[in-house]
Amino acid sequence: MSTADAAKAAGADEPTEPAATAVDPAPRDGSNPTGAPPSDGAVPGGDVVLALRHLEAGYGGLAVVRDLSLQVHAGEVVALLGPNGAGKTTTLLTISALLPALGGEIDVLGAAVTRRTRPHRLARRGVAHVPEDRSLFSQLTVRENVAVGRSRRDDVLALDQVLEYFPALSPLLDRRAGLLSGGEQQMLALARALARRPRLLLVDEMSLGLAPVIVERLVPIVRRIADELGTGVLLVEQHVAVALHVSDRGYVLNRGGVVAEGPAATLAADRDLLAASYLGPEA
């Protein structure tokens, strides 16, 4: 299965079962100011929507992510940073059950993700994954893409509620997704995920191929989603400064392991770390 197909399976095209109710935002004091990895991945705070404990993830039995422990609370934006090849996409695919974990534990919305967990079941429980390639239905209109997956759900956002976050999509509702610009397509990918009113939102490199000015407009929308809907967001982003600006906390991966973690402001102030987050695995 391609990443696109897999992400569709995990995300927008699962039309049954009401989405879980959004929960109140957690306090933003759940960080780890020392920067030291917590022994059990524990971070004080509100409801935990995602917990990874000593996760090993990879391909063909070979781990590219090792001993990754992290948490995301309701209403929190957590940045997952690191250079190309660090293992960020692999981590998101494994959380979404699109890749089987090789070891460790994944807890999503209070339940374990195991080899038997099906991606569409996670989607029903309130997990939305916006993959790097956006995985839109290019032949469907903007309106249809947003509508996919919403039928028979009570706790979803109406189209006009979604458009409050993405007003630029309003005049494009009847345009086919394949005809949109890159920035518009990314908005639509986020809008489609938002329409499900996710409790856990996984966003992979939303800025890929987009102009910096578009990135600076788009990334803050995840902050608003977390604040207003209580969604916990795990944000993978190459634009490190922009990502940390909207995040509460961050983790920096290199060669598949956590090399730093802490409050976003602390990480943002560490210039060496920022440089290492952009460069290759030798950094």
Give the shortest CB-129-to-ligand ATP separation in angstroms. 13
Supply the DSSP symbol for 176. Answer: B
Rounded to a whole number of angstroms, the CA Rg of the chain reads: 17
Per DSSP bridges, beta strands 103-108 and 77-81 are unpaired
Is residue 82 involved in binding ligand ATP (CB under 6 A)? yes
Residues belonging to the chain: 283
Give the shortest CB-211-to-ligand ATP separation in angstroms. 19
C-alpha 241, offset from chain centre: 17
Binding segment toward ligand ATP, per CB under 6 A, in 78-86, 136-144, 213-221, 225-233: 78-86
- Nearer CB in complex with ligand ATP: 86/130: 86
- Nearer CB in complex with ligand ATP: 21/84: 84
- Nearer CB in complex with ligand ATP: 91/266: 91
Supply the DSSP symbol for 205. Answer: -
Is residue 59 involved in binding ligand ATP (CB under 6 A)? yes
Yes or no: say if 25 and 74 are a contact pair by the CB < 8 Å rule.
yes
Burial of 185 (0-12, 13-18, 19+ CB in 10 A): buried
What lies within 8 Å, CB to CB, of 83 at 6+ separation is 254, 276, 277, 278, 279, 280, 281, 283
Binding segment toward ligand ATP, per CB under 6 A, in 48-56, 83-91, 120-128, 242-250: 83-91
Binding segment toward ligand ATP, per CB under 6 A, in 12-20, 22-30, 86-94, 213-221: 86-94
Name which of residues 88 to 107 contact ligand ATP (CB under 6 A): 88-90
Is residue 134 involved in binding ligand ATP (CB under 6 A)? no
Burial of 40 (0-12, 13-18, 19+ CB in 10 A): exposed
Number of residues that bind ligand ATP (CB under 6 A): 10
C-alpha 199, offset from chain centre: 11
Among 35, 85, 182, 257, binds ligand ATP (CB under 6 A): 85
Yes or no: say if 52 and 106 are a contact pair by the CB < 8 Å rule.
yes
Give the shortest CB-88-to-ligand ATP separation in angstroms. 4
Is residue 64 involved in binding ligand ATP (CB under 6 A)? yes
Question: Which residues contact ligand ATP (rule: CB under 6 A)?
Answer: 59, 64, 82, 84-90
